[in-house]
């Protein structure tokens, strides 16, 4: 059994924010695998379904980002889960756009959702870090994460969400390295075609 958590802020005004890409991922999982209806529980929305042969619960905390751990902790206690059974999808400034990193444990890196989760359930849960890139200036970070994805991001965002949800069965059955590798291979930009070789000069007569 797995608890798949998407991090984000509730409300239509936040839907397209970079900070809400965790919600986007979980919504994509919900659609792709035909999960049951969303139900209001654990200070969030929960849905139940299967990913491959694995029973999974989706959770979107509705507490706002900096209190996400309250919702996740309640769900874990109810389902009698340990942190190793929890997979969290969240935005990551220090990963390039269109890339992901998968890891268990580690620091929160200033991410308020992860900080709250660390406080409530410890650090040994799994993280799927979805790259949103860095604006290049720390003074612009707040507006970057709480801003909408740009039109240019449409060239990679749908493809990335499709890959990370489509390959999810590999992750939930406990193969994180294979999962990350598969997602990377599916989201690599196509290699540019090789330039044609110049014709050989005519031999002198």
Q: What's the whole-model pTM score?
A: 0.89
> At which residue do the structure tokens 């220090």 appear?
94
Half-sphere exposure of 110 (CA within 13 A, CB side): 8
pLDDT tens digits for 141-153? 999 999 999 999 9
Active site members: 19
The structural domains of the chain, with segments of one domain joined by +, span 2-187
* The pLDDT of residue 108 is above 60: yes
Q: What is the mean pLDDT of residues 100-124?
A: 93
pLDDT tens digits for 60-80? 999 999 999 999 999 999 999
Identify the CATH homologous superfamily for domain 2-187: Peptidyl-tRNA hydrolase (3.40.50.1470)
Q: How far apart are CA 131 and CA 112, in angstroms?
A: 16
* The pLDDT of residue 197 is above 80: no
Q: How far apart are CA 100 and CA 187, in angstroms?
A: 10
């Amino acid at each position: 059994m797995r608890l798949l958590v998407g991090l984000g802020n509730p409300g239509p005004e936040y839907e397209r924010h970079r900070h809400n890409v965790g919600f986007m991922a979980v919504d994509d999982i919900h659609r792709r695998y035909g999960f049951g209806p969303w139900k209001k529980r654990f200070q969030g929305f929960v849905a139940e379904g299967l990913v491959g042969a694995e029973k999974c619960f989706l959770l979107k905390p509705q507490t706002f980002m900096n209190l996400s751990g309250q919702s996740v902790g309640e769900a874990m206690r109810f389902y009698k889960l340990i942190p190793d059974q929890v997979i969290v999808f969240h935005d990551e400034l220090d990963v390039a756009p269109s890339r992901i990193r998968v890891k268990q444990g580690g620091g929160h890196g200033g991410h308020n959702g992860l900080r709250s989760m660390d406080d409530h359930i410890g650090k040994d849960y799994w993280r799927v870090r979805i790259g949103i890139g860095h604006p290049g200036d720390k003074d612009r970070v707040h507006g970057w994460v709480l801003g909408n994805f740009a039109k240019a991001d449409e060239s990679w965002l749908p493809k990335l969400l499709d890959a990370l949800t489509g390959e999810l069965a590999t992750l939930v059955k406990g193969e994180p390295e294979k999962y990350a590798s598969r997602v990377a291979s599916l989201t690599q930009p196509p290699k540019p075609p090789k330039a044609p070789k110049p014709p050989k000069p005519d031999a002198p007569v």
